[in-house]
A = this chain, B = another copy of it.
Amino acid sequence: MRAAFELFTVQGYEGTTVDDITAAAGVSRRTFFRYFPSKEDVIFPDHDSVLDRVRWYLGASANTEPVFAVAEAARLIFESFVATPEQTLARYRLTREVAVLRDREVASVARYERVLSDYLRSRLPKTSEAALAAHVAAASFVAAHNQVLREWLRSGGATDPHPALDVALTTVADLITPLIARSSRQSSQSTV
């Protein structure tokens, strides 16, 4: 991974072959593909584990307030990026330039969003209003997360991003809570 990042920043992503990486790392080509399913995956090593952690967290928060749980899940994702600033920054620089990597990043963000909306849907009545609310809520939290993260990355990771994250998450929570509450009530309303 270290060899790959160094080569990517010098030669660019497309300008670096897997052979280059393995030669620099002193392993064989075959070994590389045993540890990374594809060349792109060298850059996104821990997305799966974070996704699992988020799933686990949400699975354990069946009794907490749904909107709060989702906000905390977003915070969890955020922390996983902030925990390794150099790596996150290097990845950010690469994903800005290389379209394939940006698409990959976007895809993994979409997976986070999916996990959040699935959780919300599981906590809400099975109406189309609730489904809409769940998707909008998940998308809003992810958007807030992304916005704060991007701003932080653009600043070079210098400042403490947590105050901004708090503001963003509470803003979205305040926005979303009534929508979720309304869609939860919807079912009891139809029963009445």
Which residues of A does B touch, CB under 8 Å?
Answer: 102-104, 106-107, 110, 128-129, 131-132, 135-136, 138-140, 142-144, 146-148, 151, 164, 168, 171-172, 175, 179
Contacts and interface: CB of A to CB of B under 8 A. Distances in A.
A187 to B, nearest CB: 17
Given A106-B110, A132-B144, A175-B179, 9 more contacts: A103-B103, A103-B104, A103-B107, A106-B106, A135-B143, A136-B147, A138-B143, A139-B143, A171-B179
A16 to B, nearest CB: 20
A164 B106 contact: no
Contact of A131 (B138, B139, B142, B147): B147
A3 to B, nearest CB: 26
Nearest to A174: B179
A49 to B, nearest CB: 18
Given A103-B104, A107-B107, A140-B140, A135 B128 contact: no
A135 B131 contact: no
B168 A132 contact: yes
Contacts of A139: 139-140, 142-143
Contacts of A179: 171, 175
B128 A172 contact: no
Closest 8 pairs (CB-CB, A-B) = A139-B143, A103-B107, A139-B139, A106-B110, A135-B143, A135-B147, A136-B143, A136-B140
Contacts of A151: 128, 131
25 contacts: A102-B107, A103-B103, A103-B104, A103-B106, A106-B107, A106-B110, A107-B107, A128-B151, A128-B164, A129-B171, A132-B144, A132-B147, A132-B168, A135-B143, A135-B144, A135-B146, A136-B143, A136-B175, A138-B143, A139-B139, A139-B140, A140-B140, A140-B143, A171-B179, A175-B175
